[in-house]
Structure 1
Amino acid sequence: MVKKLVVACGSGVATSTTIAEKIKSKFENDRVQCNVEAVDYKSILNELPNTDIYVYIAQPDANVLKTADKLNVKVFPGIPFLTGMGMDKVYEEIIAATK
């Protein structure tokens, strides 16, 4: 089964879309099969039950992290995909989570 990765930001439009496209492009180059979607943070609790990997922009609140943990959703920071600092390390961790 193909896994699903969501990237969430405040509106689900600007930052999350930029990061989602960057991850999607890297997945295509590395031939990783994983669905990638940008969503708004307000809907993250509804998205988590159908998600395997969650990439956040702003630090998620405790309830979101607790729910992700309960659902075994892997959580990763998205800022490295904007700054480039630490991006390779986070990307490798995401790749491991897709397997």
Structure 2
Amino acid sequence: MKKRLIVACGSGVATSQTIASKIASMFEDDGISFSVDAVDYKSIQSELPSTGIYVYVAQPDEDVLEKAEELGIAVFPGIPFLTGMGVENVYSQICELVK
């Protein structure tokens, strides 16, 4: 697996940065060394080839999901990291991939 997790939102600044920081902090707390980056959705197609895990804010379109599947990228929802609802389940699935 490529050693990179990306979080994408419309601008790559607000929501994606918040979620990326939360995931990076959780990784640090658990002693996991894995790159976490916030990106804007407009550049998602060029970001995917260097990515192992993609966390989305808004539901990605079919082209993005197809490309992610083609490249073997695991895709997860990011909203649980904002709301706290279901975050343990999503985070544990991500951890299984990065360990």
Question: Gapped runs of 5+ residues in structure 2?
Answer: none
Moved segments of 4+, more than 6 Å: none
Q: What is the identity percentage for the equivalent residue pairs of Structure 1 and Structure 2? A: 63
Residue of structure 1 equivalent to 2:42:
42
TM-score (norm 2): 0.97
Report 1:1-99 matches (<5 A). 3-99=3-99
Secondary structure of the equivalent of 1:38? strand
Residues paired across the two proteins, number: 99
Cα RMSD after superposing both structures: 1.1
Shift of the 56–17 alpha-carbon distance from structure 1 to 2, 3 Å rule, reads same
TM-score (norm 1): 0.97
Question: Gapped runs of 5+ residues in structure 1?
Answer: none
Preserved CA contact (<8 Å) 1:2 1:35:
no
Q: CA–CA distance in 2 between the matches of 1:10 and 1:68?
A: 18
Residue 98 of structure 1, CA deviation: 1.1
